[in-house]
Amino acid sequence: MNASYTASPAVKVLQSADPDVQYQFNPSSRLLGEGGMGYVYVGKRISKTEGTRDVAIKRVKPEIIFDKTILERARREGSLIIVHQNLVRMYDFIDEQYNDVLGRPQHDYYVISELLMGVSLADLLEGRTTDQIGRGVPVAVEKYELYRSDPFAFAKEMVTAVLNGLISLHQYGYIHRDIDPSNIIITTTGEIKLIDFGIAKRWKDLTQSDNLTHNGVFLGKPLYASPEQIRGRIDEQGPAADIYSVGIMLFHLIVGHPPYQGTSTQITEAHCKGNFPVREIPRSDIAKIIKRACAHEKGDRYQSAAEFFVELNRLPAVPPKPAMPNWLKTSIGAACILILALIFYKWLDQEPTFEEAKAMLAEKSSFDKGLEALEGLALKNDLQAIDLLSTLYVNPQASRNDPLGDIRKNAQAVMDPDSTEAHKLRKNAIKIDNENFSANINLAEDYINGIGCQVSQSKAKEYLEAARELANTKQEERAIKRMEHKFQTTFSTPIN
């Protein structure tokens, strides 16, 4: 071991599983902080290849190390290593084994993370601008002044940073499940970081039998938790749960308080079935975004952090204008209607066609605009757009020889699979044109495989027979044969 690894007697040394890395801290030094899980110290990460850097070392409290659930969460938190500018960087989980004075085997457990000195968003909202050890943070003073003078600009900066971090977290397959102002840090260098992965989980692994999160058990904070978290339906929790919490926080930052207040019971009931106080939001454009992010049903929310991020970034910084006097409204009403009509028709002329939207989707740099155009066309009942959009919602991942390969590849970054939304789109396509082959064959597949709906032999047969009558090309006949095989495999009976 080289000289840089030498520690004084007062310094405790923790060896990583990586033989080239160890951590050092002084157990008798002043605590950086204390939480429900452990005591936090300032320490050093010493690497032969990366050099030395400051880290936060959290020692799990001895009195709770026998709780296997808490210990496994600590282990999972220390192992969630994602490098992103808006996420706290985790480094390690250390299981230190030793013998006590009687020779009995003992364990101490440590979670190692990036050292973030700064002010939590929760403290900043209360006007506190000092770091964890009481030092003033100039950048926090600036942010607090911005919060006081322009809540919208402040909220947009905070929330887009959090969403940017969530895009990466969700892409790695994790959901945070505990987003609120206390878990966001504004560092002394002005970075905005989402912290505390204590109850983060790979969302695709969440089932009713999950060993760390039991069905019916609420995890999170009542003021910001999604309805599915409150109900304890762990198998329903996905990225939309985090999006809901961010929407609640966005409301808080703009309005000055969370949307639901009262006792814990009153707050949790309001999250699940209360009327959202949208009228308290001073701007109609931001109100529309928050209302969608905070929809009771997860299928009605933004389906990805990237979609939420794009919508929020589109909003102009200009504050709402004062209400126009009634006499002025009357005098220029006709002229306004005429101007708006001209603008509207001009916009219609410039709206991308389906082929133009498809071309934009195939390019990474223009995918977001292409998706927006595709969604706009779908809202206008364009059957091609509905078909493609529902296909991407069913599975945005590309496969070999897939004609939509480039589009699916780009979709993976911003779209999460959403079978419920796909099924809604396909049902709408049938309403528009019940003789549309694609809509019928797709709905047959939905009812065979349970895509966004309950498996139903009768409905699958109904749509499959309709599709068979409409098939008029060899390609469509191949699709029919493939679906008939799925039907027979699923229901153990031929369709005839």
Written in H, E and C, the secondary structure of the chain is CCHHHCCCCCCEEEECCCCCEEEEECCCCCCCEECCCEEEEEEEEEECCCEEEEEEEEEECHHHCCCHHHHHHHHHHHHCCCCCCCECCEEEEEEEEEECCCCCEEEEEEEEEECCCEEEHHHHHCCCCECCCCCECHHHHHHHHHHHHCHHHHHHHHHHHHHHHHHHHHHCCEECCCCCHHHEEEECCCCEEECCCCCCEEHHHCCCCCCCCCCCCCCCCCCCCCHHHHCCCHHHCCHHHHHHHHHHHHHHHHHCCCCCCCCHHHHHHHHHHCCCCHHHCCCHHHHHHHHHHCCCCHHHCCCCHHHHHHHHHHCCCCCCCCCCCHHHHHHHHHHHHHHHHHHHHHHHHHCCCHHHHHHHHCCHHHHHHHHHHHHHHHHCCCHHHHHHHHHHHHCCCCCCCCCCHHHHHHHCCCCCCCHHHHHHHHHHHHHHCCCCHHHHHHHHHHHHHCCCCCCCHHHHHHHHHHHHHHCCCHHHHHHHHHHHHHHHHHHCCCCC
Average pLDDT, the chain: 85
pTM: 0.61
Confidence of residue 346 (pLDDT cuts 50, 70, 90): very low
pLDDT tops 60 at residue 1: no
Candidate from 8-12, 252-256, 442-446, 451-455 with smallest mean pLDDT: 8-12
Q: What pLDDT is attached to residue 204?
A: 66
Residue 348: pLDDT over 50: no
Question: Is it the case that residue 370 has pLDDT exceeding 90?
Answer: no
pLDDT at 70: 85
Highest mean pLDDT: which range of 84-93, 341-350, 411-420: 84-93
Q: Starting at the edge strand that comes first in sequence, how are the strands of the sheet with 192-194 ordered?
A: 118-120, 184-187, 192-194
Angle in degrees, CA 75, 123, 188, rounded to 5:
75
Residue range 215-274, pLDDT digits in tens: 444 455 789 999 998 887 777 789 999 999 999 999 999 999 999 988 989 999 999 988
Q: Sorting pLDDT into bands at 50, 70 and 90, what band is 324?
A: low
Q: Which residues pair with 112 in a beta bridge?
A: 57, 92
Question: Residue 332: pLDDT band by 50, 70, 90 thresholds?
Answer: low
Give the lowest-confidence range in 124-128, 211-215, 261-265, 354-358.
Answer: 211-215
* Stretch 182-205: mean pLDDT: 90
Most confident of 158-162, 322-326, 402-406: 158-162
The model's confidence at residue 297, banded by pLDDT at 50, 70 and 90, is very high
Per residue in 31-49, pLDDT (tens digit) is 998 888 899 999 999 999 9
The mean per-residue pLDDT over the stretch 461-486 comes to 85
Higher pLDDT: 404 or 308? It is: 308
410: Cβ contacts below 8 Å, ≥ 6 apart? 361, 362, 363, 364, 367
Least confident of 17-21, 173-177, 210-214, 253-257: 210-214
414 has pLDDT over 80 = no
* Confidence at residue 215, expressed as pLDDT on a 0 to 100 scale: 43
